Chains A and B, each alone.
Chain A
Amino acid sequence: MARNRGDVTYVAELLEVERQKLMATLPLIEFKNVNFSYGSRVILNGVDMNISRGQVIAIMGGSGSGKTTLLRLIGGEAKPSAGSVSVAGRVVHELGRDELFKLRRKMGMLFQFGALFTDLSVFDNVAFQMREHTNLPESMIRDLVLMKLHAVGLRGAHHLMPAQLSGGMARRVALARSIALDPMLMMFDEPFTGLDPISLSVIGGLIRRLTDTLGMTSILVTHDIQESLRIVDYVYFLADGVIAAHGTPDEVRESKVPFVHQFVHGEIDGPVPFHYQAQTSYSQDLGVRTESGV
């Protein structure tokens, strides 16, 4: 039977379709003049950033520059002291606990060392979210878990415990666990740290392939320039609490911005100085009198 165009449900469905079309054209994540401090220490100072859907984005910067804080703000683990962070059109820090948890079900996060549950097997780690958030029968969960593990090349390791895995394998299991419910957004906190070149390349390849296959958006917080520039679509550099530079991998490689140049080429001295600022001069500290008196 043809739908009555005056039917309220029909109109609501049309509106929902239009809303989703509109949302698809908007950035998935929007940072608007975001400030964040730990006590008196300012971490972010007026960060503006838009992240489009379907891209792999890298956020780079020195240690303590606030990269991980950006991920915590997106996940709602921290609240900005000023400004707003929106994910899929919703301001994260304004959401109630239930709404935030509902949003988090559409997000995945890969922690620096995997953060696998050490008392659960590889299989149970990947099945964890499915068992917590769905009523799927165990037979279907088994099939889904094996599919996710197969996607990261570890179907054969489903019976192992986390303590029996290498660092790279643990990272891949954690990745399988993060994509268990097919998230719209994946966040990776230092995914390449401590990996050998093969594992590093495997993880990098998986991030790119899974992002494209599952239609996700991925954000990487990383120090690894070479691997990141190989797989990402866009890079943001964070320094002194602001976005110091941004661009495509090719633009970053050719950048003349001093900070970016120092970072990309691993130069020892530059805008990020080798020496931590001292209150007194070197010669004063050593008690040496120089001709200039310094």
Chain B
Amino acid sequence: MAELEVRLPLSDEVIEQLRAGDSVQLSGTVYAARDAAHKRMAEAIARGEAVPVDVRGQVIYYVGPTPARPGAVIGSAGPTTAMRLDPYTIALLEAGLKGAIGKGGRGPKVREALVRHRAVYFLAVGGAGALLSKHIRSVELVAYEDLGTEAVRRLELDGFPVIVCNDVHGGDLLEQGKAQWQRAAG
């Protein structure tokens, strides 16, 4: 399990290199979007309309931050549960999305689609929103301002700590971790 520093956007070479369980520090641009924004984007795609973010080659961070205090870039900003976004994720992968950051595992269909579309799912530590906010250098509103905390935002990450959960070779950290650490109950 390697420790790597990765500059975004993810290159094809880096994507092939990443393995489930690798600790990665991400720097560069990601897009913040969670439930309500995904629903809107999925509805737009279904109607054949443009979505506010060209997701080709991009990484989405599932986050709805607390409001920034005066003088701060952002409030607390940790990941939300990824599985709720599963119903919207495959369409975004088909549109060229290359990565997502969240917490908890993905369903079998998304895991398979990640391999097929050569994209990576990263875990960030849920409940570490204060710490993670220190690795976000800037925030810019992109779309759906009316959604408040759920609006789409462009974030500039700086050494943001994540762990590779699902790699393009079919590796799944959650399965590997359980297999390694479970034991017969006494």
Tell me, yes or no, whether A binds B. Answer: no
Chain B contacts to A: CB under 8 angstroms: none
Q: Which residues of A contact B (CB under 8 A)?
A: none
